[in-house]
Amino acid sequence: MRYDTVIFDLDGTLLDTLDDLHASVNFALEKHGFLLRSKRDVRSFLGNGIRNLVECSMPAGASVLQTDRVFEDFKAHYIVHCEDQTRPYEGIPELLEDFRKRKVQMAIVSNKADNAVKELAEKYFSGFVETAIGERQGVRRKPEPDSVFEAMKSLAAKKEKTLYVGDSEVDRKTAENAGLDCVLVSWGFREEDFLHTLNPEYLIHRPEELVDIVNGDRRDG
C-alpha cells in the first residue's frame, strides 16, 4: 500500500454543502437589504472559512460593522439549516467503507468551525474518520499546516505514507505546506481547468479513483 493515511478536506470533498451555505448567505444578505449572490458566486468564495465567505459576499464599500451583522445572521441561520440539503457526494460512503476494510486511517481537516466539523463527521462518517479538526481560535487555519500536523500526530502517521485530498487552491497549498502528496477532486467547488493549473500530484473525477492511488497502482499523477 502506497499510503496508509488519508486526510480529507470536508466541504466540496466529502460533503456537498453548497446549497445550504448559499441559502444562509442569501438569507443574511436579504435581511440587511443587500443584493443576493448566485450559487456560482458562493461556490467561488468557499475554501477560506465562513467569515471569508461572508466578506466576499458583501458589496464593495460595505463597512466592518455591516459585515459583522451579516456574519452573525449567517451563522444563526446556518446552524439551524446546515443539514437541510447537505449530503455526502455520490460514491463517498462506499469509498470510506473500502478504506475502513483496508485499515486505511482517515481524518478530516477543514476551515469550517471546529464544532460543526465534529458534528458533521459524527453524523455522516462515524466509524470511518478517526479524527476531525476544524477552525479554532488560536490555531492557524489552512493553508497553514498546523491542523494537518495535529491530525497526523493523533494517528501516528508518517509524512511519506500520508495523502491529502481536497478540492481547492487552499487544499493544494495546505498539502504543499505540510509536505504531503495532494489529490484534488473535480466534483467540488472549483472548475477542473483551474484545478489543472495547481499541478496536484493527482486529479480525480470519481471517488473510487482514490483506491488505486492509495494502493500505489496509479503513480502518473
Output the pTM of the full model: 0.92
AA identity, residue 44: S
From the CB of residue 123, how many other CB atoms can be counted at a distance below 10 Å?
11
User: Rounded to whole angstroms, how far apart are CA atoms 105 and 4?
Assistant: 6
Q: What is the 3-state secondary structure (H, E, C) of 54-98?
A: HHHHCCCCCCHHHHHHHHHHHHHHHHHHCCCCCEECCCHHHHHHH
Please list the residue range(s) of the chain that carry CATH number 3.40.50.1000. Answer: 5-16+87-215
Collapsing DSSP states into helix, strand and coil, what is residue 33? coil
Dump strand ranges (E) for the chain. 5-8, 15-16, 87-88, 105-113, 131-135, 162-166, 181-185, 202-204
In this prediction, residue 220 carries a pLDDT of 58
In this prediction, residue 221 carries a pLDDT of 52
- Going residue by residue through the chain, which has 221 residues, state the pLDDT in tens, using 9 for 90 and above: 999 999 999 999 999 999 999 999 999 999 999 999 999 999 999 988 899 999 999 999 999 999 999 999 999 999 899 889 999 999 999 999 999 999 999 999 999 889 889 989 999 999 999 999 999 888 899 999 999 999 999 999 999 999 999 999 999 999 999 999 999 999 999 999 999 999 999 999 999 999 999 999 876 55
Burial of 137 (0-12, 13-18, 19+ CB in 10 A): exposed
Phi and psi at 117, nearest 5°, equal -60, -45
Q: Taking Cα atoms as reference points, which of 37, 50, 38 lies closest to residue 77?
A: 50
Q: What is the CATH number of domain 5-16+87-215?
A: 3.40.50.1000
Domain 18-81 has CATH 1.10.150.240: yes
Q: Taking Cα atoms as reference points, which of 176, 172, 183 lies closest to residue 210?
A: 183
From the CB of residue 59, how many other CB atoms can be counted at a distance below 10 Å?
10
Please list the residue range(s) of the chain that carry CATH number 1.10.150.240. Answer: 18-81
User: Rounded to whole angstroms, how far apart are CA atoms 160 and 171?
Assistant: 18
